[in-house]
Amino acid sequence: MARSRSNQKTQPVLKILIFVIICGDALFLTGAVMYSLFSQWVTAHQAISPTEIPWIKTKEKCEHTDRVWQDDQCLDIDHSYLF
């Protein structure tokens, strides 16, 4: 009889523990999937726009750093707007 009372007390606790673990796993997986989708979306929608590099004033120095000299400005054509 003592065994059945102990078993009756642990069953609800065990069910709650399993429920919490399943909910935690579902929450973690949902977050991982959402992060992955958001990361892919951001990567796909990054705009690349030329940006002037103001500290480079000569064509030689500009071209030496693999940038483009245009209209007396040194432009970084691979510049991300998130920079």
Q: Tokens 């054509």 — which residue?
A: 77
- Total number of domains in the chain: 2
Residue 70's domain comprises 48-83
Q: Report long-range pairs for 72-79 (Cβ below 8 Å, ≥24 apart).
A: 75/50, 75/51, 76/50, 76/51, 76/52, 77/48, 77/50, 78/48, 79/48, 79/49, 79/50, 79/51
Q: Mark whether 64 and 83 lie in a shared domain.
A: yes
Say if residue 81's pLDDT is above 60: no
Pick the more confident residue, 50 or 31: 31
Q: Mark whether 8 and 23 lie in a shared domain.
A: yes
Say if residue 1's pLDDT is above 60: no
Say if residue 83's pLDDT is above 60: no
Distance of CA 62 to the CA centre of its chain: 33
